[in-house]
Amino acid sequence: MSDGVRIVDILGGGAFATVVVVERPGVGLRALKVLRPDRLGDMDALYRFRDEARMLQRVDHPHVVHCHGLHRHGRRLVMELDYVDGAGLDELLASGDPHKLSVRQACELVAQVAEALRAVFEDPFDGAPLRIVHRDLKPANLVLDRHGIARVLDFGIAKGEFDDREAMSLYDVGGSMGFIAPERRDGGETPAVDVYALGVLLLLLVSGERLLLPMRSDRHTEAVAQRVEALELPESVAALAPLLRAMIAFEPSERPGMAEVVEATKQVAASAGGDDLASLAAHWVPRVQQERPKVAVAEHRRFPEVAFLEKASAPEAPAPGRAATRRELHRRLASVGWLKEVVAIAELRGAVEPPVDGPLLDRLDLARPSWWQVLSRPTQPEELEQLLLILGDRPSPATMVRAERLAQRPDERVRRAAALVLKRGESG
């Protein structure tokens, strides 16, 4: 970040990042997503953060928040995003009375979101479709501005196809309870999972009640039918009922495509009466913003995590030579607590070209010490996992040999990490 940044507001955040609003000289207001300091030792979180920035830098769509760059401040990573003068959909629903939208407003909002999700999967923003599946669609990840324009946020667990992707997205299901499609438990990652989440969202918007469905096919279908029937929709918007049942179908093959969702919700919105989404946002968003608790930036509980943003950037230290890098890696990896320094080790390994892999490969080989290494401390499964994650960034032939061997290990974390390193090496 350049000098002169002023923190205007701290919007909060989650377990992985804190989001702040800053004013940049000559730029104006921007939102910054800052990786939390307690995640600096989590390589998977680091890779996901960098992948999210790469995705959002490539995407240029009116209903997706754009990333203007990924900045490094010492060991801290900062994502620079569009600032949206609006409110989260979760805030809007919590403040509403009743806590729901009209059919027209809900369908207009869902049509915008569906168009964004269709585009990030199908449109060639970077010369070819990015095949992005969001995988965590929910009210907290949608923001509505004062003009009724919705934008999709937080692609932190999204899956996409691009050359420099780092995150090993098969590691966990992720997502939020109630919005996770049934097939996600078995690794389903097609756009149908976003259609499902969007269907649950649409039902929430028009009913005002959260939905938690059974995970058995017959009971799931019955519960959806009961909830949709309870809406008692007027004849003018009767087409919404079959659309909801189809979007929240247990089987992904029975759900409509995202382009179909766009057209269907637009048609229902056009046939529904009442105020449009823009009218709602014009008075609802300012009211929610006004009702937010007023806390001085310097007194916010997360301010210590982001205070560095207002300080001048320190000059980058020159990268060490290969011999010095190798010695330093050996020294750090010899420590019992080296996992606490995993990000620093990854950065050190890649600070020279080509990366220095020898000390990490040596540590991998101690998973099953040879007779002459009998006094060495064996490498534990959690260490093997992190070593593979680090070496998986541009895996060398020597790394591939180790990954093939470790793919047969009994520990599931190690097997998955090794398999994904092999996949990355084969595709690279």
Instruction: Report percent pLDDT > 90 for the chain.
Output: 48
Please give the pLDDT value at position 372: 43
Rounded Cα–Cα distance for residues 127 and 30 (Å)? 27
Residue 113, Cβ density class (10 Å: 0-12 exposed, 13-18 middle, ≥19 buried) = buried
Q: Which fold has domain 86-285?
A: Transferase(Phosphotransferase); domain 1 (1.10.510)
Kindly report which listed range (178-187, 199-208, 270-279, 295-304) carries the lowest average pLDDT score.
178-187
Rounded Cα–Cα distance for residues 418 and 392 (Å)? 9
Answer whether residue 203 shows pLDDT above 60: yes
Please give the pLDDT value at position 90: 92
pLDDT, tens digit, 9 for 90 and up, residues 374-421: 445 677 888 898 899 889 888 899 999 999 999 988 888 889 889 888
**Which whole number is the average pLDDT over 271-290?**
93
Query: Please, what is the end-to-end C-alpha distance for the chain in angstroms?
Result: 31
Please give the pLDDT value at position 336: 83
Q: Are 384 and 417 in contact (CB under 8 A)?
A: yes
Return the higher-pLDDT residue of 37 and 317: 37
Rounded Cα–Cα distance for residues 288 and 85 (Å)? 12
Answer whether residue 315 shows pLDDT above 80: no
Angle at 98 between CA 95 and CA 99, to 5 degrees: 55
Describe the strand order of the beta sheet including 142-145 as a list of residue ranges.
86-88, 142-145, 150-152
Rounded Cα–Cα distance for residues 358 and 368 (Å)? 17
**Which whole number is the average pLDDT over 182-190?**
82
Kindly report which listed range (102-116, 159-173, 217-231) carries the lowest average pLDDT score.
159-173
Please give the pLDDT value at position 1: 56
Residue 342, Cβ density class (10 Å: 0-12 exposed, 13-18 middle, ≥19 buried) = buried
Q: Which fold has domain 6-84+293-310?
A: Phosphorylase Kinase; domain 1 (3.30.200)
pLDDT, tens digit, 9 for 90 and up, residues 356-366: 999 999 988 88
Return the higher-pLDDT residue of 67 and 186: 67
Domain boundaries, the chain: 6-84+293-310, 86-285, 322-427
Q: Which of 307, 355, 298 is nearest to 78 (CA)?
A: 307
Please give the pLDDT value at position 374: 44
> Cα-atom radius of gyration of the chain, to the nearest Å?
24
pLDDT, tens digit, 9 for 90 and up, residues 231-264: 989 999 999 999 999 999 999 999 999 999 999 9
Rounded Cα–Cα distance for residues 239 and 303 (Å)? 49
Q: Are 271 and 236 in contact (CB under 8 A)?
A: yes
Mean pLDDT of the chain: 87
Return the higher-pLDDT residue of 359 and 340: 359
Going by pLDDT thresholds of 50, 70 and 90, the confidence category of residue 3 is: low
Rounded Cα–Cα distance for residues 324 and 403 (Å)? 26
pTM, entire model: 0.78
Please give the pLDDT value at position 178: 85
C-alpha to C-alpha distances, 107 to 12, 185, 269, nearest whole angstrom: 29, 28, 5
SS3 content of the chain, % helix, strand, coil (to 5): 50, 10, 40
Please give the pLDDT value at position 371: 44
Q: Is the sign of the CA dihedral 409, 412, 414, 418 positive or negative?
A: positive
Residue 283, Cβ density class (10 Å: 0-12 exposed, 13-18 middle, ≥19 buried) = exposed
Answer whether residue 220 shows pLDDT above 70: yes
Please give the pLDDT value at position 377: 67
**Which whole number is the average pLDDT over 112-119?**
97
C-alpha to C-alpha distances, 205 to 98, 208, 304, nearest whole angstrom: 11, 6, 37
Q: Which helix (H) or strand (E) is 68 found in, with range? A: strand 67-73
Please give the pLDDT value at position 141: 94
Answer whether residue 81 shows pLDDT above 50: yes
Kindly report which listed range (90-99, 258-267, 312-321, 388-397) carries the lowest average pLDDT score.
312-321
Going by pLDDT thresholds of 50, 70 and 90, the confidence category of residue 265 is: very high
**Which whole number is the average pLDDT over 114-122?**
96
Residue 395, Cβ density class (10 Å: 0-12 exposed, 13-18 middle, ≥19 buried) = buried
Please give the pLDDT value at position 345: 87
Answer whether residue 370 shows pLDDT above 80: no
Rounded Cα–Cα distance for residues 192 and 167 (Å)? 21
φ and ψ at 322, to 5 degrees?
-65, -45
Kindly report which listed range (40-49, 219-228, 413-422) carries the lowest average pLDDT score.
40-49
Prior bond to 354 cis, omega within 30? yes
**Which whole number is the average pLDDT over 23-52?**
86
